[in-house]
Every structure is written in structure tokens, then in C-alpha cells.
């Protein structure tokens, strides 16, 4: 069983990975995403009721070729909702990021590998919020 100090050290390291992840989403930084996602990682979602799975590499190529929220003048709007460290080598995290016009909620699974903490799986959902009063969709 991991000691309290070990769990605090793991929590700090995981927080650093999540910060890099959220910043990389905002900047569409595919190279950073390639480092923090383990090569075996897959991404899962359920658009329109059907489970879809994509590889890390396929997703990173999509990110590489899309305009970043930063380049479009959008402020960074994200947060870590929860982190759970399970022993010394496994963790889960829930994060939210605004990638206009979408809101993204991710459930991430992380493992402590020989290269440090890496995201090994991502389940996500995206929503397009309704326009607020006085705003219209672009």
C-alpha cells in the first residue's frame, strides 16, 4: 500500500500531467499530447448512441490539423473536476475544457510507467451549449 507521502507525490505529478494536457488542448499542441498519452492509449465516446474508439495517433493527427482555441482568440477555460489516486501506479481524473463551440468532459485513466504518469485511456463527451440570451451561434 502506498504511503500518504507517496500519494501526495503522485497527486502533484498527476496534476502536472493534467495541466499539460489542458494547455495542449487549448493550443492544439499535438506533440505534447503525444508525450502525455501512452502509445497504446485509445479514446472512447458515444456520439448518437454508438460507441466509437480511436487510437491515440489518429486523434493526435486530428488535433494537429484543427485550429486551436488560442489561435482563434478564445481564452483558456478548463478545470480539473476530480482526481483519484489508487495505489502508487494508477489514477483517474475528470476534467472539463471549453473548446468553442464545444464543451468537453473527459474521464482519463493514468498509469505510472517507466516514463512517469501517462494517460492510457480517455472516455469523453462533447456538448454544444445553447446560445445565451443576446448571443447567436457562429
Q: What share of the chain is helix, strand, coil (3-state, %, to 5)?
A: 30, 40, 30
Reported as a single tens digit per residue, the pLDDT across 85-103 is 998 899 999 999 999 989 9
Q: Which residues pair with 112 in a beta bridge?
A: 117
Mean pLDDT of the chain: 91
Angle at 91 between CA 102 and CA 97, to 5 degrees: 15
With the CA atoms of 19, 84, 111 and 57 taken in that order, what torsion angle do they form, in degrees rounded to the nearest 10? -50
15 pLDDT exceeds 90? Answer: yes
Reported as a single tens digit per residue, the pLDDT across 24-61 is 999 999 999 999 999 999 999 998 889 999 999 999 99
Q: pLDDT confidence of 128, banded at 50, 70, 90?
A: confident
pLDDT the model gives residue 1: 53
Mean pLDDT across the stretch 4-12? 84
All three cell numbers of 33, joined, read 499530447
- Decide which of 3.40.50.970, 3.40.1350.10, 3.90.180.10, 3.10.450.50 is the CATH code for 4-127: 3.10.450.50
Q: pLDDT confidence of 75, banded at 50, 70, 90?
A: very high
- Give pTM, 2 decimals: 0.89
Reported as a single tens digit per residue, the pLDDT across 99-126 is 998 999 999 999 999 999 999 999 999 9
Amino acid at each position: 500500500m502506498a504511503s500518504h507521502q507517496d500519494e501526495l507525490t503522485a497527486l502533484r505529478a498527476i496534476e502536472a500531467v493534467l495541466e499539460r494536457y489542458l494547455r495542449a488542448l487549448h493550443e492544439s499542441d499535438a506533440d505534447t499530447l503525444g508525450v502525455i498519452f501512452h502509445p497504446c492509449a485509445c479514446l472512447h465516446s458515444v456520439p448518437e448512441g454508438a460507441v466509437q474508439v480511436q487510437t491515440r495517433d489518429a486523434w493526435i493527427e486530428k488535433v494537429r490539423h484543427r485550429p486551436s482555441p488560442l489561435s482563434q482568440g478564445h481564452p483558456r477555460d478548463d478545470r480539473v473536476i476530480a482526481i483519484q489516486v489508487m495505489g502508487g501506479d494508477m489514477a483517474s481524473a475528470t476534467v472539463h475544457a471549453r473548446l468553442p463551440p464545444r464543451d468537453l468532459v473527459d474521464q482519463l485513466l493514468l498509469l505510472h510507467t517507466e516514463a512517469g504518469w501517462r494517460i492510457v485511456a480517455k472516455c469523453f463527451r462533447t456538448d454544444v451549449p445553447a446560445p445565451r440570451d443576446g448571443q447567436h451561434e457562429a
